[in-house]
Amino acid sequence: MIKANSLIITIIISLVIGLICTCLILLAWFNRSAEIVHKINRQLGVNLSSGINIVLQDTAAFSTAQTDSIDLFDTGNDSIIITKECWGLFNIASVVAKKATWAREKNFLYGGSLPSFMDACIYMADHKRPLSLVGSVILQGNAYLSKAGIKPSYIDQRGFSGSRLLQGDIKPSNDELPPFCTVRFDYLQQLLNKCTHPAVEDRAFFEIPDSLDRSFGDSAAFISYNGLVDLSGITLSGHITILSDTCIEVDASSNLNNVLLVAPIIRIKSGFSGCLQLIASRSIQIEKDCTLSYPSSLVLIKELSPLNPCTINIDSASKLCGIIFTYAFPDDVAKTMVTLKKGAYIEGLVYVSGFLEMNATVHGTVATDYFLYRSNAMMYENYLADVEISRIKLFPFFVNSPLFTGFTVNRIIQWVK
């Protein structure tokens, strides 16, 4: 008996073909979805770079956080949100690109391109005195000096033993150090004022956690304490500011990255390694064997009081990659004093409104009112002995602080979380 069940056979075959077709349709659908996601991601990436470019071209000074929402091409489809704020001597920006329900975010630390005075290894304000060199002094790069110029000299029957006084050109300096942005300076002063007069919401009623990693896309964790703050055995990273009205001590056992410390006195204990920005009004002590990696900075702004000594000390075998900035008001008789011990190494900018006792190696630029050299019980003004200051050896990707005027464009220092 021959069964002629054509319907059943047709249904079975159609099920198999249907299954294959469904698979093909699903494949095409997934492929199309992936394509759409890829396209949106690429567009978000392009919008993100466009937003970053908008941030980098804006060199206007600001002291408080700013948020802008921009429709990039006036089509209503490509929007970005830019948030930027001061972060110590540098700026921090957060760019968020949005398209429908999709979003991509990038946070970065940025600063300014190098101002004109940083084409030199030395900028010594013109106080009508020459710069005297003793022993093995290496000065590579141009130098902004007073009209009295540069000359070899003697201390304790020891003369200048280098081959050339200056491996570069001499340019005339002004009677004041290169100017800086007052808006930015106000921000630094406000931070210092917060040490002694913190806002109620900034007061910490809890212990600093053992570990805290705060994204720069989030609001800053502002923690203010009364009395000595001892940071030991902790890990802090990101958008965190710690203030004290007296002193902050950082132990070698702590791990700090991109954190801002603000206090009248700050002490970094021997052996510490990390990336920090320190803002103080009385003194900063960096003990032996410390490494402060780029972009670190030491800021000392002297209160208008001739009684308080105001110093930065960097001990031997310590390294700083970044910026040292000190400022004393013109009316203040007692200026700031920076001591860089022998064996210390600085890469970047040293800007001292006052006296610089310079025994370290500096790859970058040194700007100061006066150099000091100490030999036995004697102090010599505007003497340099057995030091190396080389502008040529400064790494080419060094980005300066927007504090200093005269930069033309912003540059990215570091991508951060």
Contact residues toward other proteins (CB under 8 A) are: 1-7, 10-11, 14, 17-18, 21, 24-25, 28, 31, 35, 46, 49-50, 53-54, 56-57, 72-73, 78, 409
Q: What is the DSSP string of 32-72?
A: HHHHHHHHHHHHHHHHHHHHHHHHHH-----SS-EEEEEET
CB atoms within 10 A of CB 69: 11
Q: Which is nearer to other proteins, 46 or 378 (CB)?
A: 46
The nearest distance, CB 8 to other proteins, in angstroms, is: 9
Closest CA to 375 of 356, 362, 359: 359
Tell me which H or E stretch contains 255. strand 255-262
The nearest distance, CB 398 to other proteins, in angstroms, is: 17
Torsion of CA 380, 123, 340, 295, to 10 degrees: 170
Q: Which is nearer to other proteins, 10 or 193 (CB)?
A: 10
The nearest distance, CB 1 to other proteins, in angstroms, is: 6
* Whole-number Å distance between alpha carbons of 75 and 302: 51
- For residue 87, CA distances in Å to 21, 84, 111 come to 59, 9, 10
The nearest distance, CB 216 to other proteins, in angstroms, is: 21
Closest CA to 384 of 173, 145, 115: 145
Could you give the count of Cα atoms lying within 13 Å of 105 in the half-sphere of its Cβ? 12
Q: Which two tokens stand for residue 191?
A: 């931070």
Which pairing describes strands 90-99 and 102-112: parallel, antiparallel, or unpaired? antiparallel
The nearest distance, CB 21 to other proteins, in angstroms, is: 5
Q: Which is nearer to other proteins, 76 or 330 (CB)?
A: 76
Q: Which is nearer to other proteins, 5 or 376 (CB)?
A: 5
The nearest distance, CB 301 to other proteins, in angstroms, is: 33
Q: Which is nearer to other proteins, 78 or 249 (CB)?
A: 78
Q: Which is nearer to other proteins, 50 or 226 (CB)?
A: 50
Q: Which is nearer to other proteins, 190 or 408 (CB)?
A: 408
The nearest distance, CB 101 to other proteins, in angstroms, is: 21
Closest CA to 296 of 236, 347, 355, 247: 347
